Structure 1
Amino acid sequence: MLDAIGNRPVAKATIGDRLDRMPITAMHRRLTAVIGVGLLFDIFENNLSGTISKVLQEDFAFDGTTLKLVLASAFVGQFIGSLVLGRVADRYGRRRAFLVNLALYSGFSLLGAFSPNAAWLIATRFLAGIGIGAEQTLSDCYLADVLPAAKRGRYIAWAYTLAFCGVPAVGFAALWLVPLSPLGIDGWRWLFVIGSLGSAVVWLLRRRLIESPRWLAANGRTEEAERLVTLMEAQAPAGETRAADPAEPTPAPSAADRTPERTRLRVIFHPRYRRRTVMLWTFSVLSVFGYYGFGSLVPQILAAKGYDIVAGLGYTALTFLGYPVGSALSLPVIDRFERKVLVAASAGSMVVTGLGFAYAGSASLMVAFGFGYTLTSNVFSNASHVYLAEQYPTAFRAAASGAAYSLSKLSAAALPFVLLPVLEGHGPGALFTVIAVAMAVMAVTVLALGDRTTGDSVDGVRS
């Protein structure tokens, strides 16, 4: 095996071998469930502003620029959070970063519920975004750290299947609460309260997470890593093959390996990683056109088609049902097919169903194509999350992945300024044509530059 930048041989990483060859245990399932519930609130957050954008526009009498700032503010915060908390996770541990990110999100989301004006709302959405921005980065890296190689894709997809229940939850909760004022408080404000209190509960659950044994071993805390892996092996079902003999612990890294140099982001431009970094950054910038371009703007698209707020929320909620269904459908295929091929194929399906949605002549066809779009987009999303987490070694995986994720958030923040003028000036057909071009370029880039990763150990990243 080579070190983080591929320069010299190092001792065999037996902690990683044992984790990769371990059967699925009750602890794996519990960790996956806790991560999935936390991701649910990340998904809830990412779709919240877009889902209620028309309501906010009416309540606060936003002009066009202010609406774009409201939609963009959370994503700008997520850009910063993904960069900063990814570095925190590599330096101080995955578990500690999890606690910081949810605490920030919960607090500022609650403050957002009491927004008296647009400036307050934009500020609290931005600050809540800093907290939740690293959630997907941290979750993907953590699960990639602890799950066996052969089951990694399937169980990360399970976590996201649970999480994507948050998308229709936003839609139906908005449909139910927006026309009401429980306790004399506007219905949309309760959606922020739900996000805040729910994430506070998840914060309590995550206090009991174990630290990543791979991260511990990579940072010289070998005894702790050994103890956790042994505990996980002890839970393996009787009669199932276990990992290699644990007698030889992972050697502690040298002092040079533990220096800050190891986790500086410039390592991702080393010749060994340069091609995959270009691929991931291109992917991150363009993929959000297809994913968030629909999810965050669908109420605006429906308004452009002539539907009022209540009807638009109802149709939005119905199309959002495809998110958890698509995530569930990815489970039997995500470890069977090569990850980059699955990403490209599902992106192509999004292009077809998106154009169908844009040109649908009836409400039933529109809902059918919208459901198909969200379904295929979550096959795409799950394959993408697993694929991104497989690109870099443990020592700087969270920071490097966070850099790529941060670009997707910055791109998502720009979407209202790019896509809304297209929608307003040229209609849904032009909007989805722009999305189709972005997704096509992204798919070609992944196929041309991406490595094959399905079934490989994350400790044995291909050179």
Structure 2
Amino acid sequence: MSAYAVPPTEVAARLDRLPVSRWHLKVTALIGIATFFDIYELLMSGVLGSVLSEEWDLGRTTKALLIGAPYYGMVLGAIGLGAIADRYGRRRMLMVNLAGYALLSLAAAFATDVSTLIVLRMAAGIFMGAELPLVDTYMSELMPRASRGRLTAIAYTIGFCGAPVTGLLGGLLVAKTHVLIDGWRWLLVFGAVGALTTWILRLGLPESPRWLAAQGRHAEAESITRDIEQTVQRQHGKPLPDPGADAPRGPQRPVALRDMFRGTLRNRTIMLWIFHPLQTLGYYGFASLVPLILVSKGFSVTESLWYTTLVYLGYPAGSALSLLVVERFERKYLIITTLATATLLGFVFGTATTPWLIATSGVGISLVNNVFSNAYHVYQAELFPTSIRSRAIGIPYSLSRVTSALLPFGALALLDSFGALGIFTGSGIAMAVVCITVATLGPKTTGRSLENVEDTADAPVPAPVKT
């Protein structure tokens, strides 16, 4: 077969059969470091809302706008930049979105009033909105079949270290000025400089060979695939295995975006369109409002930020825990189980009055939430064909950003009227709907080639990989 006509199914089979090497770990680390700053920027909203509500005497509506500002932009970014990634490439958009939100976050550090800060945070959100769907897409297309869940979880474990760092830097910096600059401004500078540094490190990332082959750019797909194989073989020190029995069954038919609503893809699309706007009530609702919930329980702003740091330690811990289970258990059922567990812990956190129970249940929620998060990030990227994967993920993901943008208005009203329990009661109802939706509409995917997940959900599914 000519190197200039290598089909997508052959590229997929060659990538899927590779043993994990230092090359895979390097790519995973570069993706994870950038994800660190994306998550850091997202969770900074709650810190800024808590600090500036006193410093700038913000009303409830203005505070809600400030907390939700990045999410307004993320709605546009998840849809628009996701479509561009399907058309112009994964790597290109990974570079564009990282540079975009880094520069805008740096500009936000110099905002002189809340209106300017809100506008700049919203603009940064446009680029932030594409990052996580692109991470899921890129990792799923580049990593070997048997290890893509674990390697994606490693990337997110690195990324979720941004959560406690947000709380830690908030506790250390926001209470005073440093070099005559307000502490909260340094939070924005740290994120921007870190993201720009990561942009330089990302220059060495390759384009997805799966995407290139799907676009008919066969020579480039063959060249990059061959380079990856040679690097992995050199690092592995042994001949590479042949593509396995679960190599993609092809040729794959061309898929257009409208096919999301046809055949086996229809249920998956409906599931994600219900899943994303509701799951964010439990996940980001808790993550972004922790400092404000703690203040409502009687803690000072500074105390709330230190407790937030403790609670946020559950993010990387939960993500690390997912490494043990994300390939061992069917991801569909892992999503349901962890979501239900986090919901129960939410009721404990909402009713807790003693510091030890608040801290313990808070850490428990963030820990379980991030086993859930890693499982669903891997899962959603497995559901759709390469030609529409970024858009098929990005569009429903944008719905979750709509929820996140509106969440502060409803959540702050609930918090003022009913306390923390009101927030967790509302999110608990939403989580029940999510669990039922995934149980009834979600296919099994663990251990299968991406191209074979495209087949009917009734096809035999290999047993999850035991490690």
TM-score range, shorter chain: over 0.9
Quote the offset at 1:61 in angstroms: 1.5
What is the match of residue 26 of structure 1? 22
Cα RMSD of the aligned pairs, angstroms, is: 1.8
Q: Does 1:153 align with 2:149?
A: yes
What is the match of residue 464 of structure 2? none
Contact 1:344–1:447 (CA under 8 A) maintained in structure 2: yes
What is the match of residue 109 of structure 1? 105
The 10-residue stretch of structure 1 (168-177 or 179-188) with the greater mean CA deviation from structure 2: 179-188
How many angstroms apart in 1 are the aligned matches of 2:209 and 2:385? 14
Q: Does 1:134 align with 2:127?
A: no
Structure 2 counterparts to residues 58-457 of structure 1, below 5 A: 58-234=54-230, 235-236=232-233, 237-239=236-238, 241-244=240-243, 263=256, 265-457=257-449
How many angstroms apart in 2 are the aligned matches of 1:353 and 1:116? 40
Question: 5+ unaligned residues in a row in structure 1: which ranges?
Answer: 1-9
Query: Relative to structure 1, is the Cα distance of residues 371 and 115 closer, same or farther in structure 2, using a 3 angstrom cutoff?
Result: same
How many angstroms apart in 2 are the aligned matches of 1:197 and 1:11? 41
What is the match of residue 465 of structure 2? none
Letter in 2 for 1:185: I
Letter in 1 for 2:178: P
Letter in 1 for 2:171: L
Deviations 1:232-275 (A, max 9, x none): 22223133642339xxxx99999xx5xxxx55x32311233111
Quote the offset at 1:352 in angstroms: 1.5
Quote the offset at 1:400 in angstroms: 1.0
Aligned-partner SS, 1:216: helix
How many angstroms apart in 1 are the aligned matches of 2:455 and 2:178? 55
What is the match of residue 458 of structure 1? 450
Deviations 1:296-337 (A, max 9, x none): 111111111111101111111111111100000000110111
How many angstroms apart in 1 are the aligned matches of 2:298 and 2:308? 14
How many angstroms apart in 2 are the aligned matches of 1:33 and 1:408? 26
Deviations 1:158-180 (A, max 9, x none): 00000000000000000000112
How many angstroms apart in 2 are the aligned matches of 1:106 and 1:379? 28
Quote the offset at 1:361 in angstroms: 2.2
Query: Relative to structure 1, is the Cα distance of residues 136 and 12 closer, same or farther in structure 2, using a 3 angstrom cutoff?
Result: closer
Letter in 1 for 2:242: A
Contact 1:25–1:232 (CA under 8 A) maintained in structure 2: no
Contact 1:221–1:252 (CA under 8 A) maintained in structure 2: no
How many angstroms apart in 2 are the aligned matches of 1:253 and 1:274? 18
Contact 1:219–1:252 (CA under 8 A) maintained in structure 2: no
Contact 1:81–1:133 (CA under 8 A) maintained in structure 2: yes
Deviations 1:380-412 (A, max 9, x none): 000010011111011110111111211111111
How many angstroms apart in 1 are the aligned matches of 2:252 and 2:293? 54
Contact 2:213–2:221 (CA under 8 A) maintained in structure 1: yes
How many angstroms apart in 2 are the aligned matches of 1:193 and 1:242? 47
The 10-residue stretch of structure 1 (287-296 or 47-56) with the greater mean CA deviation from structure 2: 47-56
Letter in 2 for 1:238: G
- What TM-score comes out, normalization by structure 2 length? 0.92
Query: Relative to structure 1, is the Cα distance of residues 293 and 354 closer, same or farther in structure 2, using a 3 angstrom cutoff?
Result: same
Aligned-partner SS, 1:306: coil
Contact 1:215–1:395 (CA under 8 A) maintained in structure 2: yes
Contact 1:217–1:252 (CA under 8 A) maintained in structure 2: no
Aligned-partner SS, 2:204: coil
The 10-residue stretch of structure 1 (23-32 or 161-170) with the greater mean CA deviation from structure 2: 23-32
Quote the offset at 1:206 in angstroms: 1.4
Query: Relative to structure 1, is the Cα distance of residues 437 and 201 closer, same or farther in structure 2, using a 3 angstrom cutoff?
Result: same
How many angstroms apart in 2 are the aligned matches of 1:415 and 1:12? 41
Quote the offset at 1:437 in angstroms: 1.0
Aligned-partner SS, 1:56: helix
Aligned-partner SS, 1:272: helix
Question: 5+ unaligned residues in a row in structure 2: which ranges?
Answer: 1-5, 457-467
What is the match of residue 44 of structure 1? 40
Query: Relative to structure 1, is the Cα distance of residues 122 and 147 closer, same or farther in structure 2, using a 3 angstrom cutoff?
Result: same
What is the match of residue 463 of structure 2? none
Quote the offset at 1:11 in angstroms: 6.5
- What TM-score comes out, normalization by structure 1 length? 0.93
How many angstroms apart in 2 are the aligned matches of 1:116 and 1:451? 50
How many angstroms apart in 2 are the aligned matches of 1:392 and 1:33? 25
Contact 2:45–2:68 (CA under 8 A) maintained in structure 1: no
How many angstroms apart in 2 are the aligned matches of 1:11 and 1:210? 19
Aligned-partner SS, 1:106: helix
